[in-house]
Amino acid sequence: KKQYRIAVIPGDGIGKEVMPEGLRVIEAAAKKHGVDVKFDHFDFASYDYYEKHGEMMPADWKDQIGKHDAIYFGAVGWPAKIPDHVSLWGSLIKFRREFDQYVNLRPVRLMPGVPSPLAGRKPGDIDFWVVRENTEGEYSSVGGRMFPDTDREFVTQQTVMTRIGVDRILKFAFDLAQSRPKKHLTSATKSNGISITMPYWDERVEAMAKKYPGVKWDKYHIDILTANFVLHPDWFDVVVGSNLFGDILSDLGPACTGTIGIAPSGNINPEGNFPSVFEPVHGSAPDIAGQGIANPIGMIWSGAMMLEHLGEKQAASAIVGAIERTLGERTLRTRDLGGNADTTACGKAVAEMV
Amino acid sequence: KKQYRIAVIPGDGIGKEVMPEGLRVIEAAAKKHGVDVKFDHFDFASYDYYEKHGEMMPADWKDQIGKHDAIYFGAVGWPAKIPDHVSLWGSLIKFRREFDQYVNLRPVRLMPGVPSPLAGRKPGDIDFWVVRENTEGEYSSVGGRMFPDTDREFVTQQTVMTRIGVDRILKFAFDLAQSRPKKHLTSATKSNGISITMPYWDERVEAMAKKYPGVKWDKYHIDILTANFVLHPDWFDVVVGSNLFGDILSDLGPACTGTIGIAPSGNINPEGNFPSVFEPVHGSAPDIAGQGIANPIGMIWSGAMMLEHLGEKQAASAIVGAIERTLGERTLRTRDLGGNADTTACGKAVAEMV
Ligand SMILES: CC(C)[C@H](C(=O)O)[C@@H](O)C(=O)O
Ligand SMILES: CC(C)[C@H](C(=O)O)[C@@H](O)C(=O)O
C-alpha cells in the first residue's frame, strides 16, 4: 500500500495556528480509512525563515519538496515586516509557477449552520466551483516604468495569455463541468472593455466548448458576474476565469457563503509532474495572529481536497462530513462564526466527528 | 439666466424606452425650480444608425455635440447584431476618451422600499460612492497576438497607468471624500499579485494622501474588497479604483443595494473642457427591449446627477427625493423590483412626485 509523503509548510501568522488542526484531522481520517500519510515539516516560506536567512526559501527548495505527493500549506505574508513581492512572489507564487500548478480550484458552498450574508439562502442553494488560471494572465512579470518623477511618468504591465495556458485551464474546467450533474460552465470575461486578451479568452472558450457538446455554457462580463454572485448564486455550477478574475470570484464566492475563514483551495498540477499545494483561501491575518482564535476549517477542508486529489475519496468525504456536522451543531465554532471556541477546540471537534 | 443645452442620445434597446421618462422628469424638475434646459436629439451611437450609415457616429460628431453643456445617454450595444468593439468602442468609450471624461462616478445607496439581497441591511446602512478611473488602466489599446494558430500562440495587452491619469482621479476622489461627513477613502489595489502597475497605484495614493491630512484612508486588495462589499458594505464612504476595478465595484455595489436597474452614473470631465456624459449603469438589455417594462429609475437618477453637475442642486435633489418617495411607496414599480408598473407609469409617478 502506498505511503503518501506530504510536505507541511505552516508559513506565517495564523498559518502556524491552523496547521496543527489540519494535521490532526487528516491523521484521524487517515487512521479511520487506512490511509498511510507521512508528514515532513519545513520552516521555509515564512517571515521567520527570511529573518534568519535573508531569503524566503533555500536554494534547493525544489529538491527538498519537489518529490512529495503534495504540499500542505498554511499562509504566507506579513506586509508590515516584509513586502508582498518578496514574501508571496518568493514562495506561494513561485510554487504556482515553478511547479506548474496551473489550476486554482476553490469550492463555493453554503455549509449547514453558517449564516449567509445573502438574505434567504439555505445550504444547497449555493454549491459551485471556481476554476482559476493560476500561472499567467494578469499576474505577469512583464512591464516597467518610464520617465520617473516627471509628468510623463507611466507604468505598464502586460497581461499575457498563451494558447497552451488558456486551453489547458479551459479543458480542466469543461472536464469538471461534464462530471457534475448540472454540466454547466460559466466563463468570466470582459471582452467589451479589455479588448485584446479577453476576446482571445472568449475565442478559446468557444473552441473548447465544441468538444463538450454535453456541457451547457454561458459567459458574463466580470462586472455583472460579480453582481450575479450576489443576486443569483444558484445560477452557477463551474465558473472559470483568468488569474485575476478567478482570484476575485474565489474571495467573493466564499464571502457570499458566510466567511472566507472556512474556504479551502488547491493549486493543482493535474498531470502530477509536480506536487500540488493545498492551502486555505485566507491569509496569515496578522491582526488576529497569536491569539489562538483563528478558524481552522479552511485549513482542514484544504486537507480534504488534498486527500481527494491523492485519490483517497473516502477519507476526504469523511472530513467534509465532519466539517458539516461540526458547523451544523453550532457548538464548537470560532468567533468569526459567532461562537467562542478557540482554534484547537474547533479542530478537535472536527477530528472527533471524522 | 443660462440656458443649458443637453445632447440627448437614447442609443439602443431599452435606452430608447427609458430616455423619454428621464426627459419627462428633468422637465418637471426644471419647470418647478426655474431651470432652463433645451434638449437636442441625436440618433447616432446606436445600431439603427450603424445599419444605415455603416458607422456608429458621423465624422463630425464632435462638432455636433462637443459644445453642449452635457450629454444625456441611454444605452448602447446589441451583441447579437454588432460586435461590442464596434458599438462600444465606437461610441461610449470614444466619448470617455476623446472628451477626457476621466471620472466615472457612481453612487451605491440602498434606497427606501428596495429590498437588499444582503440580509438585514436597511436604507442608510449602504451609502457610498465609487470613483472609477475612466480613460486608461486595463482598458488600453496596446497589445496584440503572435504565432496565430500554433502552439506558440499568445496574446498580450498592456495595462497603462500614467502619472497624470492616476493623480487626477485620486485628487478627485480625495476631494470628494473630504467633502463628506465621514471623510473616508478606500483604494482598491491588487499589488500583491499585479506587481508593477498596482504598486504604482498604491504609491500615488500614498503621495496624494499626504495632501489630505483630514481624510482617513485605507486600501484593500480587490479580491477581499469585493468580499467586504457583501460582508461590510457599511464600511465604505468613497471607494476609488482603476478602470477595471471601478467597473467591477460599480456593478457589485448596486447589486448589493438590490438592482442594477436604478443605478446612475456620470462620465465626467471635471474641468469642463468637454461635455460630460450621464447614463444609467445598466446596458441596452436586448432580452427585455421592446416590451416597455424596463426600469427607468437608472435613467432618471442619471438626470439628477447631470443637473447636480450643472450646478442645479435644488432640481437635482428634487429628483432624488421623488425617486425615494416613489420607491418607498412601492406602488408604481417595475417588475425587476417586484411591481407591475410599466416604464411609462413609473416615469410618470416620479415626475409627479418631483
Ligand atoms: C459596456 C462596457 C464597455 C462598460 C465598461 O466596462 O466600462 C460598462 O460595463 C460600464 O460600466 O459602463
Ligand atoms: C496572496 C495573493 C498573491 C494571492 C493571489 O492573489 O493569488 C491570494 O489572494 C490568493 O488568492 O491565493
Express each pLDDT in A226-243 by its tens digit. Answer: 999 999 999 999 999 999
Scan for cell 465604505, then name that residue.
B236
Please give the torsion angle defined by the CA atoms of residues A110, A116, A118 and A124, in that order, rounded to the nearest 10 degrees: 30
Question: Which residues on chain A are in Cβ contact (under 8 Å) with B134?
Answer: none
CA-wise closest residue to A316 among A324, A325, A306 = A306
pLDDT of B331 reads 86
B236 and B174 in a single domain? The answer is: yes
Ligand 1 atom nearest B247 alpha carbon: 11
- Are B36 and B72 in contact by the 8 Å Cβ rule? The answer is no
Per DSSP, A190 falls in state -
Report whether pLDDT(A331) > 90.
no
Q: What is the CATH number of the domain that holds B249?
A: 3.40.718.10
**What is the distance between the alpha carbons of residues A341 and B143, in angstroms, rounded to a whole number?**
52
Report whether pLDDT(B102) > 90.
yes
User: Which grid cell is B201?
Assistant: 497605484
A250 → chain B, closest CA residue: B223
| Cβ pairs A/B, distance under 8 A | 196
B157 with A196: Cβ contact below 8 A: yes
Angle at A178 between CA A174 and CA A183, to 5 degrees: 100
A252 with B251: Cβ contact below 8 A: no
For residue B270, being part of any structural domain is answered with no
pLDDT band at B330 (very low <50, low <70, confident <90, very high): confident
**What is the distance between the alpha carbons of residues B211 and A327, in angstroms, rounded to a whole number?**
48
- Are B346 and B297 in contact by the 8 Å Cβ rule? The answer is yes
- The greatest distance separating any two alpha carbons of chain A, rounded to the nearest whole angstrom, comes to 67
**What is the distance between the alpha carbons of residues B324 and B61, in angstroms, rounded to a whole number?**
36
Average the pLDDT over B49-77 and give the result: 97
Q: Are strands B143-146 and B154-162 parallel, antiparallel or unpaired?
A: antiparallel
**What is the distance between the alpha carbons of residues B297 and B22, in angstroms, rounded to a whole number?**
8
pLDDT of B138 reads 98
For residue B107, being part of any structural domain is answered with no
The CB-side HSE value for B72 (13 A sphere, CA atoms) comes to: 32
pLDDT band at A164 (very low <50, low <70, confident <90, very high): very high
User: Which grid cell is A108?
Assistant: 463555493
Question: What are the helix (H) ranges across chain A?
Answer: 14-32, 47-53, 61-65, 84-87, 92-98, 163-178, 197-209, 222-231, 243-256, 297-309, 313-329, 343-353
CA-wise closest residue to A232 among A244, A214, A218, A242 = A218
Average the pLDDT over B149-174 and give the result: 97
User: Which grid cell is A33?
Assistant: 480509512
Pick from A132, A145, A192 the residue to mutate for testing the B interface (most B CBs within 10 Å): A192
| Residue A277: alpha-carbon gap to chain centroid | 9
Does ligand 1 lie within 6 Å of residue B247's CB atom?
A: yes
Question: Which residues on chain A are in Cβ contact (under 8 Å) with B77?
Answer: 192
B288 and B197 in a single domain? The answer is: no
**What is the distance between the alpha carbons of residues B76 and B59, in angstroms, rounded to a whole number?**
18
Instruction: Give the model confidence (pLDDT) of B259-310 as tens digits.
Output: 899 999 999 999 999 999 999 999 999 999 999 999 999 999 999 999 999 9
Average the pLDDT over B108-135 and give the result: 95
Report whether pLDDT(B235) > 90.
yes
pLDDT of B201 reads 98
pLDDT of B285 reads 95
Please give the torsion angle defined by the CA atoms of residues B64, B69, B72 and B73, in that order, rounded to the nearest 10 degrees: 50
A192 → chain B, closest CA residue: B84
For residue B119, being part of any structural domain is answered with no
Does ligand 1 lie within 6 Å of residue B88's CB atom?
A: yes
B42 and B148 in a single domain? The answer is: no
CA-wise closest residue to B299 among B7, B1, B17, B2 = B17
Q: Number of helices (H) and strands (E) in chain A: give both, helices first.
A: 12, 12
A196 with B143: Cβ contact below 8 A: yes
Instruction: Give the model confidence (pLDDT) of A67-123 as tens digits.
Output: 999 999 999 999 999 999 899 999 999 999 999 999 999 999 999 999 999 999 999
Pick from A147, A235, A247, A265 the residue to mutate for testing the B interface (most B CBs within 10 Å): A247
For residue B140, being part of any structural domain is answered with yes
CA-wise closest residue to B90 among A191, A192, A199 = A192
For residue B174, being part of any structural domain is answered with yes
A193 CA to centre of ligand 1 in angstroms: 7
Q: Which of B256, B287, B308 is the last residue of a domain?
A: B256
Scan for cell 436586448, then name that residue.
B286
Pick from B132, B133, B163, B336 the residue to mutate for testing the A interface (most A CBs within 10 Å): B163
**What is the distance between the alpha carbons of residues A328 and A341, in angstroms, rounded to a whole number?**
14
Q: Is B144 on the interface with A (CB under 8 A)?
A: yes
Does ligand 2 lie within 6 Å of residue A88's CB atom?
A: yes
**What is the distance between the alpha carbons of residues B38 and B72, in angstroms, rounded to a whole number?**
12
Q: What is the mean pLDDT of chain A?
A: 97
Q: Which of B191, B222, B256 is the last residue of a domain?
A: B256
B230 and B314 in a single domain? The answer is: no
B247 and B132 in a single domain? The answer is: yes
CA-wise closest residue to A56 among A43, A69, A66, A67 = A43
pLDDT band at A330 (very low <50, low <70, confident <90, very high): confident
B116 → chain A, closest CA residue: A119
Does ligand 1 lie within 6 Å of residue A162's CB atom?
A: no
Q: What is the mean pLDDT of chain B?
A: 97
| Residue A282: alpha-carbon gap to chain centroid | 9
B240 and B280 in a single domain? The answer is: no
Ligand 1 atom nearest A190 alpha carbon: 6
**What is the distance between the alpha carbons of residues A349 and B2, in angstroms, rounded to a whole number?**
73
Question: Which residues on chain B are in Cβ contact (under 8 Å) with A231?
Answer: 117, 255
Per DSSP, B184 falls in state E
Question: Which residues on chain B are in Cβ contact (under 8 Å) with A157?
Answer: 158-159, 194-197
Report whether pLDDT(B1) > 90.
no
CB count within 10 Å of CB B214 equals 8
CB count within 10 Å of CB B240 equals 29
Instruction: Give the model confidence (pLDDT) of A120-145 as tens digits.
Output: 999 999 999 999 999 999 999 899 99
Average the pLDDT over A42-64 and give the result: 97
Does ligand 2 lie within 6 Å of residue A279's CB atom?
A: no
Count the domains in chain A. Answer: 1
Domain hosting residue B218, numbered range: 127-256
A253 → chain B, closest CA residue: B227
Instruction: Give the model confidence (pLDDT) of B172-224 as tens digits.
Output: 999 999 999 999 999 999 999 999 999 999 999 999 999 999 999 999 999 99
Spell out the residues 6+ positions from residue A290 whose beta carbon is closer than 8 angstroms to its own. A17
B97 and B150 in a single domain? The answer is: no
User: Which grid cell is B193?
Assistant: 499579485
**What is the distance between the alpha carbons of residues A274 and B351, in angstroms, rounded to a whole number?**
65
First to last CA, chain A: 22
| Residue B233: alpha-carbon gap to chain centroid | 19
Pick from A163, A221, A256 the residue to mutate for testing the B interface (most B CBs within 10 Å): A163
User: Which grid cell is B293?
Assistant: 417594462
Question: Which residues on chain A are in Cβ contact (under 8 Å) with B156?
Answer: 142, 158-161, 196-197
Report whether pLDDT(B314) > 90.
yes
CB count within 10 Å of CB A59 equals 8
Using most ligand atoms within 8 A of CB, pick from A92, A265, A302 the residue to mutate for ligand 2: A92
B131 and B50 in a single domain? The answer is: no
Q: How far is CA A257 from CA A116, A229, B236, B240, in A?
A: 5, 10, 21, 26
- Are B1 and B38 in contact by the 8 Å Cβ rule? The answer is no
Question: Which residues on chain B are in Cβ contact (under 8 Å) with A255?
Answer: 226-228, 230-231
B138 and B81 in a single domain? The answer is: no
Question: Which residues on chain A are in Cβ contact (under 8 Å) with B239?
Answer: none
Rounded to 10°, the helix A313-329/A14-32 angle is: 120
Q: Is B158 on the interface with A (CB under 8 A)?
A: yes
pLDDT of A116 reads 93
Consecutive H or E run containing B254: helix B243-256
Residue B29 identity (one-letter amino acid):
A
Average the pLDDT over B143-149 and give the result: 96
Q: Is A161 on the interface with B (CB under 8 A)?
A: yes
Pick the residue whose CA is nearest to atom 4 on ligand 2.
B193
